[in-house]
Structure 1
Amino acid sequence: MKRRTLLTFAASAVLLAACSQSNTPNQDAGADNSAVEGSSELLNRINNGEAIHVGTEGTYPPFTYHDVDGKLTGYDVEVTKAVADKLGVPVEFNETQWDAMLAGLDAQRFDMVANQVSLTTPERQAKYDKVTPYSWSGAVVLAPKEDSRFSAWDNLKGLRSAQSLSSNYGELAEQYEAEIVPVEGMAQAIELVKQGRADFTLNDRLAVLDYLKKHPESGLEIKLVAPASEQRGSGLILLKGNDEVVTKLNDAMQQLQEDGTLTRLSEQFFGQDISQQQ
Structure 2
Amino acid sequence: MKTTGIGTFYLFIAGILLNVLFYQSQLFAQNPYLGRYADTVKIGSELNYPPFCMVDEDGEAIGFSVDLFKASAKEVNLKINIKVAQWNVLKEDLAEGHLDALPLVGRSIERDSLFDFTFPYYTMHGAIFVRSDFNEFLTEEDLQGREIGVMEGDNAHDFLIKKGCVNIKTAPTFREVFENLSKGKYDAVVAQKLMGIELLEKLHIENVKPLPFMLKGFNQDFGFAVKNGNS
TM bracket, shorter-chain basis: 0.5 to 0.7
In the alignment, is the contact (CA less than 8 A) between 2:47 and 2:55 conserved in 1?
Answer: no
Residue 191 of structure 1 pairs with residue 179 of structure 2: no
TM-score if structure 1 supplies the norm length? 0.47
- How many residue pairs get aligned? The number is 183
Of the three residues 95, 99, 110, the one matched with 1:102 is 95
The equivalences for 1:230-269 within 5 A come to 230-238=218-226, 240=229, 242=231
Corresponding residue to 2:148 among 147, 163, 181: 163
> Residue 177 of structure 1: CA displacement?
8.4
* Structure 1 residue aligned with 2:118: 131
Equivalent residue, structure 2, for 1:72: 61
Q: CA deviation at 1:94?
A: 2.7
Do the aligned residues in 1 keep the contact of 2:61 with 2:82 (CA within 8 Å)? no
- Structure 1: where are the runs of 5+ without partners? 1-37, 243-278
Shift of 1:78: 1.4
| Partner SS, residue 65 of structure 2 | helix
Relative to its length, the structure with more helix (as a share) is: 1
Structure 1 pair 208/75, CA: closer, same or farther in 2 (3 Å)? same
TM-score with structure 2 length normalisation?
Answer: 0.54
Q: Structure 2, unaligned stretches of length 5 or more?
A: 1-29, 84-88
Three-state SS of the structure 2 residue aligned to 1:189 is: helix
Q: Are the counterparts in 2 of residues 153 and 176 from structure 1 also a CA contact under 8 Å?
A: no
Q: Secondary structure at the match of 2:48?
A: coil
Q: Per the alignment, do residues 177 and 203 of structure 1 end up closer, same or farther by CA in structure 2, a change over 3 Å counting?
A: closer
Distance in 1 separating the partners of 2:112 and 2:165: 33
Q: Which protein has the larger Cα radius of gyration, Structure 1 or Structure 2?
A: 1
CA 1:60/1:132 → structure 2, altered by over 3 Å: closer, same or farther?
Answer: same
Whole-Å Cα distance in 2 between the matches of residues 209 and 140 of structure 1? Answer: 10
Give 1:77 shift. 0.8
| Counterparts of 1:222 and 1:152, CA distance in 2 | 13
Higher relative contact order (CA 8 A, sep 6+): 2
- Does the 8 Å contact 1:162/1:192 carry over to 2? no
Which amino acid counterpart does residue 189 of structure 1 have in structure 2? L
Distance 1:161 1:171, change over 3 A: farther
